[in-house]
């Protein structure tokens, strides 16, 4: 599993003309599922994200988590994170999980956040063409992989 984590002041995702998810201060997660990912890896990733200290404390040090600051989380599926560009100029997505595996893993991740935090959890729409708007705060952007 690969997740691009962006600390944001605000973020939203649109499918067509409909906003499917929007947050203020929090984390935008772009989630790629690998064909060999397991539920244990997904749980590890969720716990890591909930505890990741990327928000500033009163001394302007990144010591606080999204949970500590009562932030929000926007989860968006993005299979292109597993695009391989080693050969040629057209990315290969052979490492990305097929939708039959990726969608349940994506949905399980969303449910995990809802079950293990009191944060506002918003989402994109799996498999849809989405438009994202975000204000990256910092900027702070990390790539987590398990």
- Residues belonging to the active site: 78-80
Integer Cα distance of 110 and 102 in angstroms? 12
DSSP secondary structure letters along 54-93: -EE-TTS-EEE-TTTTT-EEEEEE-GGGG-B-SSSSS-B-
Beta strands 72-77 and 26-32, pairing class: parallel
Q: What is the largest CA-CA distance in the chain?
A: 49
Angle (CA) 4-69-7 rounded to 5° is: 25
Residue 139, Cα to own-chain centre: how many angstroms? 16
């Amino acid at each position: 599993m690969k997740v691009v984590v962006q600390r944001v002041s605000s973020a939203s995702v649109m499918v067509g003309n409909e906003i499917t998810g929007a947050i203020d201060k929090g984390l935008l997660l772009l989630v790629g599922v690998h064909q060999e990912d397991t539920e244990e890896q997904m749980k590890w990733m969720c716990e890591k994200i909930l505890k990741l200290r990327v928000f500033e404390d009163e001394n302007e040090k990144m010591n606080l988590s999204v949970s500590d600051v009562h932030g929000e989380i926007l989860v968006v599926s993005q299979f292109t994170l597993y695009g391989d560009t080693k050969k040629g100029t057209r990315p290969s997505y052979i490492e990305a999980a097929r939708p039959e595996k990726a969608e349940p893993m994506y949905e399980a991740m969303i449910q995990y956040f809802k079950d293990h935090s009191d944060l506002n959890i918003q989402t994109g729409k799996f498999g849809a063409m989405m438009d994202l708007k975000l204000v990256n705060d910092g900027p702070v952007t990390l790539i987590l992989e398990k």
